[in-house]
Amino acid sequence: MIAKRPEKHRIVITGVGLTAPNGNDLPALRESLLRGQSGVTRYETRYFGPTVAGVCQFDELRYQRRKEVRRGTRAGSIGIYCAREAIRDAGLDWENTDRSGVGIYVGVTEHGNVETENEIYLLKQYDYDTQYWSHHHNPRTVANNPAGEISLNLKVTGPHYTLGAACAAGNAGIIQGAQMLILGDCDIALCGGVSESIRTFGIFASFHSQGALACHEDPTKASRPFDADRNGIVVAEGGCMFVLERLADARARGARVYGEVVGYAMNSDAYDFVLPHPERQAECMELALRRAGLAAEDVDIVSTHATGTTTGDVQECLALRRVFGNSPRTLLNNTKSFIGHAMGAAGALELAGNLPAFADRTCHPTINLDRPDPECELPGLVANEPREMAKVEVILNNSFGMLGINSVVVVRKI
């Protein structure tokens, strides 16, 4: 049973804007997920060389001039595109919106690495003479940059900031937006996550040295969470921003509602730099469900975090079996198998890809699951082909990150 909550505490999703390696809006992403279409491709980056990655192909000049793109950041461009698309999708009368009542909350894994690497590379031609260092460096690399670029582009005068939450950041952005609406700090929240990670060679080199970077002769088969032949992470870029509003405000303007954010939680493993802790992950899911007034048996779809690493997938499965082991009707899927790991954007993109299930009553699959790892056994895991369902009323979205940060968001159909 859903816990009864004050009307002003009922927060709903009314707009979705995104770019993913296999789609630049929600209908395109959903179609790719149901057709089994991967967005992972061959990719080559400075110093590291050939690899595979999830690469986005959105039109960055749709909402920016060339000068603005050159001056800003890839993360900023992704954020601007997604925020603008979310506003359009929500049907907001933007010209007549009080922009002092709009808050921007953007989750990121990291920021500034891309710009710093590029600027040092360009400085080589001047024998590292720092008088030629870019005067754009500081605004490009400050931690609030992606949210700040969105604020500048949209002329939003309400609060803006980024949330550094590793790969839990997409969910963290949603949670922050919901909390600020409940507190009355804003009337519209633009929130979610962005990632520009493929633009830095360092992330590929680091995962490779860790033995956690995926490789496969067929790029579309490189990302294979839960499979016995998985060999690491496929790095991806992307972004997803949501428009969140109070339910009463959404109804007053006749907005379409994708779903209601009924529960969320964040906690910390306090365990290891990179190795996850299944007990803490399970506790995060259980806390989100308690706050939603739901039992595990009430959840129709669980969007898993699994990245394709040998240890990480097993640890999450331990947590999932603890929470959903007695819920045979709950189905589970994984979106990273299609697009790779979009880092700070992952949680937001993965939630977005599952939201249409409320309408089409279909659980998209986990692809590339050819030889399931016995240690990753999950009875409800949907493999390779979509599965139709009698109903979809509750979705639980997992996102976990380095240094032991965990986030869970629960959304229900209205």
Do you know the residue count of the chain? 414
284 tagged catalytic = no
- What are the φ and ψ backbone dihedral angles of 94, each rounded to 5 degrees? -65, -40
Distances (CA, A) of 178 to 55, 160, 181, 247, 323: 30, 14, 5, 11, 25
Closest by CA to 351, choosing from 360, 367, 370, 364, is: 364
Q: Of residues 240, 305, 363, 364, which has the active-site annotation?
A: 305
**Rounded to whole angstroms, how far apart are CA atoms 335 and 10?**
27
Q: Of residues 56, 82, 167, 376, which has the active-site annotation?
A: 167
167 tagged catalytic = yes
Cβ atoms of residues 327 and 215 within 8 Å: no
Q: Of residues 341, 363, 364, 376, which has the active-site annotation?
A: 341
305 tagged catalytic = yes
SS3 content of the chain, % helix, strand, coil (to 5): 40, 25, 35
The structure tokens 């240094």 sit at: 403
Cβ count within 10 A of residue 182: 16
Vertex 241 angle, CA 237 and 244, to 5°:
160
**Rounded to whole angstroms, how far apart are CA atoms 193 and 348?**
6
Per DSSP bridges, beta strands 188-195 and 238-246 are antiparallel
Cβ count within 10 A of residue 124: 8
> How is residue 89 written in tokens?
């999708």
Residues known to be catalytic? 167, 305, 341
